[in-house]
Every structure is written in C-alpha cells, then in structure tokens.
Structure 1
Amino acid sequence: MPTAAHPLSDDELFAWLGLVHSPGLSPGAARRLLAAFGSPEAAIGAGPGAWREVAGLAASQALLNPALNPDETFARTRAWLAEDPTCRHVVTLGDPTYPTALLQTADPPLLLYGHGRLSLLERPSLAIVGSRHATPAGLDNARAFAAHLAQAGLVIVSGLALGIDGAAHEGALEGAAAGGTGGTIAVVGTGLDRVYPKRHHALAHRLVDGAGLQLSEFMLGAESLKEHFPRRNRIIAGMSMGTLVVEAAVQSGSLITARLAVECGRDVFAIPGSIHSPQSRGCHRLIKEGAKLVETADDILHELRWPAAPAPAPSAGAPTGREDPVLAAMGHDPVTTDSLSDRTGWPVAELQARLLELELDGRIARLPGGLFQRRAAA
C-alpha cells in the first residue's frame, strides 16, 4: 500500500489550488504569501491590501482576477483523487512525504500531483536522462544501468520521454521485478490525467500499477507545452542524488538537466560513446566540463558510496570461447557491410547471412543508411 500524503480538507485543497494555479501569480510571489501568512487559506483570505504589501501589485491583481475557474479546478481535482484514493495524491510543500532533496533547491514546486507508489519519494534516487533519438546501444545502456541500480535499491527518475527516458523506466521496472528494492518515478510535463507521448500510454500504466510513480506540478488537464519541460527537468535534477546522461546531442534538454543538477550541488555522470556519433557529443562535453565518466552501473554506486547490487546468477547460455569474428571486426561504431567485408575478408553474401543471424539474436542492430552496430550486451 502506498504511503499516503497528509489528507487535505476540501477548504485546504481549494486554497492550495487557488494559490498555486492562479495565472499571473509567480511561484516566488506564492511562496512569499505562504511565508507571510502561514497557510494558503490565510493567504487567500488576507485581501488585496495585504497581498500587495507582501507580494506586489501584480500578485494582488492575479489573485483578484483569476483567469481560471477555481470551482472547476477544485471539482476536477477532487474527482480525480476520489477515483483511486490509495494511489492518487496531492503533496504540498511541507507535507511529510514531500521529497527532502527537492526542498533544498532554489525553486521547489509548492504542490505536486502523484499517481502510484508515493513511498518512492522517501527513497534515494538517481536521474537517468538522454536523447529522444537514441541509438540501439544507448537504449541498451539506459535499460541495463537502470535495472542494475534499481536492483541495488535506488529509485530511477526520468521524464517518460521517448528514447533514453523510456528505456530507463523499463529497466528500473525490470530491476524491481527481479527482487530489487528500487523503482522508478516519471516526472512529466502534463497533468496526470494525460499521457505524453501517447506511445508511452502502456508504459505509464505499467509504471503506476507496478514499482513506479508518476509526478507532476501541472494541474489536471495541462497539455504538453514547450515551456513545461524545463520546469519538469528542474524537478528531475532536484529530487535526485545525481544525474546520469546516457546519450545527448550538444543542443539537448538532457544537458539542461545536467546543468540544473550541478546548480543543486548534485553529481553528474556521463557514459562516453563513439567520437563519430552526434548522440555522444553532449556526454563528451559534460565529461570535459567535469562530469564523472562511467562505464558500469557499479561505477555510479561506488561514487555514491551505495552498496552494490546482488550479483546475478550466471546464465546457462552464456557464450564461451573467442568472440564472434564479425562482432570483433565490427567494434562498437556503426559500420557498413562493405567495410565489414574489407575487415573480415568474408564475401558480402556470406557476411549478410551472418549479420541477419546476429540481428535476429539481438546482438546487433540495423541502423538507417545501411549501417549495423553491435548492441550493448553483445
């Protein structure tokens, strides 16, 4: 059973929603009102003169002329909570279940919506982020690192985006299912009554039904607006002990998350990749700037001084002997059939047949442009 947030009365919920979701009222102004009056109810009831004195004219005008219908916002939120009261929550600043690490950041959300295992907020967590246009090797790495770290007891935080985020959530669920005490938190840029991207609808439901939690500061009904995602990223970075970037282009939201982690005083880790891959250049830049280069999940556990995960039992089908000659010739960069033929001396027809076998075995991936690349486990 999930840990429950402190239950809010209808009056408390109405006041919190009115304070947090008043258009034109900045988070900073809302925090000043809370600090001055002690509670949302007292702040809302203080009146225009007090609002203006504490938070300025713009804040007073925002509270006097809300663009949203507060009754409708309250009714929608109350109904959403009532549909599944054990797994749906509103967590306010100062609630015992509010993430402690997030409280230590410069701009903690005043209110969070949660759906799933709220107890995950009380556990140490690590963010895993990266490219939406990840390579097969990047997806394998994200999944494998997340599974290992979740099995060691860490909660994996990511943003439910396509690519690396989704692979990280999948891996964390696998690690938890394999007996790990960790799980995964998806911090999203929409209201929790929506799933974005739609391709992750099934993953979002598996996450909530299993060892996971969805988290958002955006009101129910909020759509996936461009400006929501930098705010989502500050939560991902702020609630985590560190951030691992798996793959990222130089101009990437993942690098923004890494920068936010540095600003919060948290560790940043990066997995190096091919010097020829655009998706490795962001990680290489982070490493040049001081991020910790990691090659295994245990590298991260060592840096965090966290106990290692239990060693998995050896697989009965584990390969033995020399490495496959085609894989050895392939290396770890994308390569064409012609280049492989030159390296191995194999005829192209024979090589294509072997490449198909390796692809069906899941040991290599076929990339656009007639390229092949070995997968992370190969």
Structure 2
Amino acid sequence: MPNGSARRSGIALTERQKIAWLRLIRSDNVGPATFRDLINHFGTAEAALEALPELSRRGGSSRSFRVATVNDAERELEAAHRFGAVFVGIGEPDYPPALREIDAAPPLLAMKGNRKAATRPSLGIVGSRNASVSGAKFAAMIARDAGTAGYVITSGLARGIDTAAHRASLRTGTIAALAGGLDRPYPPENIGLLEEIVSGEGLAISEMPFGWEPRARDFPRRNRLIAGASLGVAVVEAANRSGSLITARYAADFGRLVFAVPGSPLDPRCHGTNDLLKQGAIVTTSPADVLEALAPLSRDDLFSRPRSDVEVKKPAVEEMRPGSGTPADGDRARIVEALGPTPVEIDDVIRHTGLSASEVHLVLLELDLAGQLCRHGGNLVSLVPAA
C-alpha cells in the first residue's frame, strides 16, 4: 500500500532551457518522439532549433519550415502564468514518474493545481460517457477506496464514468488529463468540476498549447497521458471502438495493469469491457481486486531514479551522438528505399541497410520534419502514403 508521499527527483530546467524546449516542441512536425531524437542527436534544444530548417529541406520538404520563436514561447509562458499554470519538463521533480518512463513521453506538461499529486502513484479510471447508474456508482467506489489507500485517480474529465471517478476522489486527489489547452476544457458542463479539482487536492495536465481547442484526433493523446501516468487503468463500461479501449490499449502497451468490470452481454456499454476480459484483463468485481494487484507496483522507489535536466529516453540500440556526420546521398536513398507504407521497426531498418543507428535516426528525423514519416507505437515507422 502506498503511503501517499511524493516521489520527487530530477533537476529543474532554467528559464532559458524551458523557452528553448517550448520552442522546439511547438515547431512544425515536432512531436515527443521527434523532440527526443533531436535532443539526443544535437545535445541541446538550442542546437536542434538551428538545424530544423536544413533537416526539413534534406527530408524533401519544399515549403518554408516554421520554427517557433522566442516571442511565441514567452507569450505562452505568460499565458500560463496568467492562468495560474506552469510548464514542467520531463526531467523536473514534479513530472509524473510513471509517465516519464514511457516511450516518447511529452517533454513538457502544462499543469495547474496541486503538483504534488503528479508524483504520487496513480490509478486511471475510464469508461462510458453515457454511463449507467450502477456503472457510475461502481467507478466511484473504486476511486474512493483507491484514494483512501493513497492513490491519485487519473481520468479524462469526460461525462459519465470519468466524472464519477473525479468527484469521488476530490478529497484524496485526482488528475484531469485534457485533450486541449488547459484553458480550453471539454466538455463545458465539467468546467465547474475542473475548478474544484485544481482548487483542492487535484491537478489538471495537458501537453497541448494554451488556447488549443480540442479536436477528435486530440483525445487519443489525452488517453495516452492517462495510461502513461498510471500504474494501472480500470475500465468501467466501454462500448466497442470507444476511447476507453484506446486508453486500455495504451496501458497494455506500456506494461500497465488493465482492469475491466464485467457487464451484461445485452448492454452495448459493456461489450468493450467484456472483450478486454477475454483478452486477459483483470476481472474486477470489487475495489479490492484493484488494490491487491497494484500493491506490488506501488513502492516509493519504483520510479525514483534521477534524470538530468535535458535527458530523455534514448534509442535502444545505439545512442545518437551529437556532431554525427550527415549521411551521404546514397546512404539516405538506401534508408528511404527500405521504408514503405507498412510500419517497420527502426532496428530492422538499421540491420537491413547496414548503416549506423545514428545515420538511420538522422534520416528519419529529416523525413519526419518534412512531413514524410509516420511514427507508430513500438518503435515502428512508415512513409506517409502518397496522395
């Protein structure tokens, strides 16, 4: 059973580093995985920023590449300050320890509320927006008992199960992961709930820019935050092809526990959870099922190893070294020829071409920044299909 104490390790970014990191992640075609590879290759965000236009050109882009400016970053930092929020980097003490460990974790999170909640062990709870009375009641039971046991409850501020989980854990601590900017919560009817969360023991987090209105394609990123920040995810009522099942899939990919509450086969809201049980999810008929399974994962030292202020997860095979030479045109062509519309493992591309990991990753960066590369889970990449 966790004691609820915060696990805080890491080194704070300087103001200059934070501005550079914010500029890099807000530049064209730079997502978390690209950010990681750029830092690993160039050593600092400042050096990576200088290289972006040339990398994009070498990747085949014919248009001007937009690099976020210092003024852009300073304006967003000021917007966060006015809103009562801060940006926390992946190597800083208040970054969620479990989220830090996933592949391509967000380099920066916007946070508002009690940041100590981010460093405590978390249980994710998700489910149907049109929840049944019994489903909402059971989600609240899990949230209440887990909160009493020392866990923070992480969910997505949606209607139904999410709302029930957040409300049941207001006193013990809850994290709302948002699909849009912190200043653009969704749905509107839960704005009051969000205010209760951030004014008490809870926290709101987002990887999206301030002012960003959430779109349908942003919600899977929100679901990824929930799964990544949690030791396990409990799914209470989920229809087939629902966002809750996306969260469960992310949780399984990250090696997290997946709990599913069985339901009537006649209720479409339970089809997804029942399928999760067939796939090996933990049968959950009481909060005790969750707490017993989480207990071995809840040591205070589980994610306590320190990181430097610029360290992010490195490629598994070979670290890309700052200052590596530019691949020859023939080598670049070999890498591009090895790719196609079907996702392949980067390690397989390295073996197939016989080139170094550093060269392959640099060419992938060029293609990525030019908008020619798709990144998939499990270290897979593919070329963007021709229009």
TM-score by length of 1: 0.71
Contact 1:191–1:220, Cα closer than 8 Å, also in 2: yes
Distance in 2 (CA, whole Å) between partners of 1:166 and 1:297 is 18
| Percent pairwise identity | 41
Pairwise CA distance, 1:74: 2.5
Indicate the residue corresponding to 1:358 in structure 2. Answer: none
Residue 75 of structure 1 aligns to which amino acid in structure 2?
Answer: R
Q: Report the 3-state secondary structure (helix = DSSP H, G, I; strand = E; otherwise coil) of the residue aligned with 1:227.
A: helix
Q: 1:254 to 1:83 in 2, by over 3 A?
A: closer
Contact 1:242–1:268, Cα closer than 8 Å, also in 2: yes
Distance in 2 (CA, whole Å) between partners of 1:44 and 1:307 is 39
Distance in 2 (CA, whole Å) between partners of 1:206 and 1:4 is 28
Contact 1:6–1:91, Cα closer than 8 Å, also in 2: no
The aligned runs of 1:211-290 (5 Å cut-off) are 211-290=201-280
Pairwise CA distance, 1:271: 1.0
Indicate the residue corresponding to 1:197 in structure 2. Answer: 187
Indicate the residue corresponding to 2:333 in structure 1. Answer: none
Q: Report the 3-state secondary structure (helix = DSSP H, G, I; strand = E; otherwise coil) of the residue aligned with 1:305.
A: helix
Distance in 2 (CA, whole Å) between partners of 1:42 and 1:13 is 14
Indicate the residue corresponding to 2:49 in structure 1. Answer: 44
Contact 1:18–1:70, Cα closer than 8 Å, also in 2: yes
Residue 21 of structure 2 aligns to which amino acid in structure 1?
Answer: W
Contact 2:238–2:245, Cα closer than 8 Å, also in 1: yes
Q: 1:108 aligns with which of 100, 105, 109?
A: 105
The aligned runs of 1:52-131 (5 Å cut-off) are 57=59, 65-66=65-66, 71-81=71-81, 84=84, 88-131=85-128
- Deviation digits for residues 220-272 of structure 1 (CA, Å, limit 9, x no counterpart): 01111111111111111111111100111112111111111111111111111
Q: 1:273 to 1:48 in 2, by over 3 A?
A: closer
Q: 1:15 aligns with which of 1, 17, 20?
A: 20
- Deviation digits for residues 3-60 of structure 1 (CA, Å, limit 9, x no counterpart): 89966554333312210011223433222111122321232245745x469xx636x8
Contact 1:270–1:283, Cα closer than 8 Å, also in 2: yes
Question: Superposition RMSD on alpha carbons, in Å?
Answer: 2.7
Indicate the residue corresponding to 2:198 in structure 1. Answer: 208
Q: Report the 3-state secondary structure (helix = DSSP H, G, I; strand = E; otherwise coil) of the residue aligned with 1:304.
A: helix
Q: Report the 3-state secondary structure (helix = DSSP H, G, I; strand = E; otherwise coil) of the residue aligned with 1:215.
A: strand
Q: 1:73 to 1:4 in 2, by over 3 A?
A: farther
Structure showing greater radius of gyration is: 1
Q: Report the 3-state secondary structure (helix = DSSP H, G, I; strand = E; otherwise coil) of the residue aligned with 1:251.
A: coil
Distance in 2 (CA, whole Å) between partners of 1:38 and 1:67 is 18
Contact 1:34–1:40, Cα closer than 8 Å, also in 2: yes
Distance in 2 (CA, whole Å) between partners of 1:156 and 1:263 is 20
Residue 21 of structure 1 aligns to which amino acid in structure 2?
Answer: R
Distance in 2 (CA, whole Å) between partners of 1:231 and 1:61 is 29
The aligned runs of 1:119-198 (5 Å cut-off) are 119-174=116-171, 176=172, 183-198=173-188
Distance in 2 (CA, whole Å) between partners of 1:213 and 1:195 is 13
Q: 1:119 to 1:5 in 2, by over 3 A?
A: farther
Contact 2:76–2:209, Cα closer than 8 Å, also in 1: no
- Deviation digits for residues 83-104 of structure 1 (CA, Å, limit 9, x no counterpart): 53xxx22111222322221122
- Number of aligned residue pairs: 292
Q: Report the 3-state secondary structure (helix = DSSP H, G, I; strand = E; otherwise coil) of the residue aligned with 2:295.
A: coil
Distance in 2 (CA, whole Å) between partners of 1:210 and 1:11 is 31
Contact 1:17–1:70, Cα closer than 8 Å, also in 2: no
Distance in 2 (CA, whole Å) between partners of 1:122 and 1:91 is 12
Q: 1:30 to 1:148 in 2, by over 3 A?
A: same
Distance in 2 (CA, whole Å) between partners of 1:119 and 1:242 is 19
User: For structure 1, which runs of at least 5 residues remain unmatched after alignment?
Assistant: 177-182, 309-378
User: For structure 2, which runs of at least 5 residues remain unmatched after alignment?
Assistant: 1-5, 299-387
- Deviation digits for residues 99-122 of structure 1 (CA, Å, limit 9, x no counterpart): 221122122111110101111121
Indicate the residue corresponding to 1:32 in structure 2. Answer: 37
TM-score by length of 2: 0.69
Q: 1:264 to 1:61 in 2, by over 3 A?
A: farther
Q: Report the 3-state secondary structure (helix = DSSP H, G, I; strand = E; otherwise coil) of the residue aligned with 2:154.
A: strand
Q: Report the 3-state secondary structure (helix = DSSP H, G, I; strand = E; otherwise coil) of the residue aligned with 1:220.
A: coil
Distance in 2 (CA, whole Å) between partners of 1:199 and 1:68 is 33
Q: Which has the higher contact order (CA 8 A, sep 6+)?
A: 2
Contact 2:24–2:68, Cα closer than 8 Å, also in 1: no
Q: Report the 3-state secondary structure (helix = DSSP H, G, I; strand = E; otherwise coil) of the residue aligned with 2:158.
A: coil
